[in-house]
Amino acid sequence: MRYRKDRFIKIIKFIMLMFFLPFRIFRIFIRLISKIKEKISLRLKFSITFKITSIYTLIFAIIYIVISVIIISLFSLYIGKNVENNIQKDIKLISYNLISNEDMPKEYILEISQIEDISIDLFDENNKLVYSTDGNKGNVMLYKKGIHSNLQNLNGDYMLLTSRNSAPWIILSKTSKWYGKNVVIQIRHNLYREILKIIILFCALMLINIIFIVITIRIGSKASRKMLKPIENMTNTVKNIDVNVLNTRLDINGAQDELKDLAITFNSMLNRIEKSYDEQKQFVSDASHELRTPISVIQGYANLLKRWGKDDRDVLEEAIDAIKTESESMKELIEKLLFLARGDNSRQRIEITNFQINKLIDEIIKETILIDKEHEIINNQNHNINIDADYNLLKEAIRVFIDNSIKYTPVNGKIIVDSSLKDSSQVMISVEDTGIGINREDLPNIFNRFYRADKSRTKKTGGTGLGLAIAKWIILKHKGSINVKSKINEGTKITIVLPLKQNEAAQNEKVES
């Protein structure tokens, strides 16, 4: 009994192994691919095309394998059910012939055995063999449940007989009547053909899967390269961009997708870089030009002094005055350049204090009246308002606007400086003149560095072209805004709006014009 029990356990394990074998092969296949991928990834750097193709190939391979397993399982169930139905039909036919005939219908039973490729055994009431279609009758026996160790139950009365040397057998036994006696009809069907069919189907599906995987790799590779072609074009275009060809842009023609959005974003970045680079070149060119003039004057007077200035006192004084004037201009220009450089690098210190704006305006007006006797300086309103700001920087910004009004306003013209409360949280400072005005096309550019609306300026009125840029930087750092309105030959009005309290509100860098 123990031997039979061990045999039964072995048979169960074998069947379970055969049933779960495809799933185990699938798991081993997945693990193998994962390990190979990890090892290869450590040594090689694959392209995005290869990675996309590999991922989709793996996904489709899994789908193909799962479908194949399902097909094989359903086919196996179908074959098994078909075998059972055929055996049941044969037993009914044999039982009918036994009941209908007094003599043993051996020829009929043998014919069924040969047509259906089955073994048919007949046993009497004592389980002795009466007739068998098997040539080796010595090995024929009546199989019963629970007696044979290599026999296991299937659906209903069906049994499965396993053997080491041959394919499994399906066995069905039924009791019938023959010549008034009970006869046991036993049909044995060898499953080697069915197993062979399953193996052939398995091999065919594996071959189809391999073909489909190859096709998937080919199609996936082409599709991936086509999808990623814009990225390759972008890469080649970007590689050719340098300071000499900053005007090159990525092609944005084509489908509306993320790559086009990326190209548009990159082109926008290139536009900003090109604009900043052009401004930097223009800045360096203008700074060089502005410095060249005083240096040339100083060098000219130095040569003049070397030749005749030692003995001619008038030439000596003229040279000294000119050198002093030009050196002061150079100093002013350099200080402004340094101010803007510190501002660009966020190293310019801003010391916020609380003070009354009317005191600042009064101080500026008094100083302006002292140095400018040719214009009428007017203050219509100057409210007593407390504000948080850098006193010196704000004064410098307002002085820039007033100096510009002085330069470009004819003699006896008016310059009006006012301050008032715009609302509960903002103060408004205005500088208005009756000067020559600014052309409409120049208004958007007046705060650019070294830009001058008056192209035919004189040395007296020209300045450095940096004052308005500095003023704009100061106002924006105070989270304020600047509005400029101007008409030719009527005058210009500049309005500054500043918050009363400096908090963490977002900086408004837009300059309205």
Parse the chain into domains and list their residue ranges.
2-208, 258-344, 353-499
pLDDT at 391: 92
> How many CB atoms are closer than 10 A to CB 63?
13
Q: Does 258-344 carry CATH code 3.40.50.800?
A: no
Q: How far apart are CA 187 and CA 115, in angstroms?
A: 13
Judge whether 172 and 157 are in contact, CB under 8 Å: yes
pLDDT at 486: 92
Judge whether 393 and 429 are in contact, CB under 8 Å: no
Q: How far apart are CA 473 and CA 450, in angstroms?
A: 14
Chain position carrying tokens 């009994």: 1
> Which residue, among 237, 219, 239, has the nearest Cα to 49 in the 3D structure?
219
Q: Phi and psi (nearest 5°) for 272? A: -65, -40
Contacts of 406 (CB under 8 A, 6+ apart): 368, 372, 375, 415
Assign a CATH topology to domain 353-499. Answer: Heat Shock Protein 90 (3.30.565)
Sign of CA dihedral 7, 155, 65, 192: positive
pLDDT at 434: 93
HEC letters along 380-411: CCECCCEEEECHHHHHHHHHHHHHHHHHHCCC
pLDDT at 459: 47
**Angle between helical axes of 313-344 and 258-304 (0-180°, round to 10):** 160
Class of residue 19 by CB neighbours under 10 A (exposed 0-12, middle 13-18, buried 19+): exposed
Long-range contacts of 177-182 (CB under 8 A, 24+ apart): 177/95, 177/98, 177/99, 178/98, 178/99, 178/104, 178/122, 179/102, 181/124, 181/125, 182/124, 182/125
What is the Cα 210 distance to its own chain's centre? 33
Q: Is 77 helix (H, G, I), strand (E, B) or coil?
A: helix
Query: Greatest CA separation found in the chain?
Result: 164
Chain position carrying tokens 């004037």: 325
Token readout for 164 is 């080491």
pLDDT (tens, 9 = 90+) of the chain, 513 residues, equals 444 555 556 666 666 666 666 777 777 778 877 777 776 665 556 677 777 788 888 888 899 889 999 999 999 888 888 888 888 888 888 888 887 776 777 888 888 888 888 888 888 888 888 888 887 777 788 887 766 667 777 776 788 888 777 788 888 888 888 777 888 888 888 888 888 888 899 999 999 988 988 888 888 888 877 777 777 777 777 777 776 777 777 777 765 567 777 778 888 888 888 777 777 777 777 677 667 777 887 888 788 777 765 667 777 777 778 888 878 777 877 787 777 777 777 778 888 999 999 999 999 999 999 888 899 999 999 989 999 999 999 999 999 999 999 999 999 999 999 999 888 889 999 999 999 998 888 888 888 877 766 554 444 555 667 888 889 999 998 999 999 999 998 999 999 999 988 653 333 333 333
Residue type, 240: N
Chain position carrying tokens 């409409």: 440
pLDDT at 507: 34
H helix and E strand count, the chain:
10, 13
Q: Phi and psi (nearest 5°) for 44? A: -125, 150
> Which residue, among 242, 264, 241, 334, has the nearest Cα to 295 in the 3D structure?
334
Q: How far apart are CA 230 and CA 325, in angstroms?
A: 60
pLDDT at 513: 32
Judge whether 144 and 165 are in contact, CB under 8 Å: no
Judge whether 232 and 220 are in contact, CB under 8 Å: no
Are the folds of 258-344 and 353-499 the same? no
Judge whether 480 and 498 are in contact, CB under 8 Å: yes
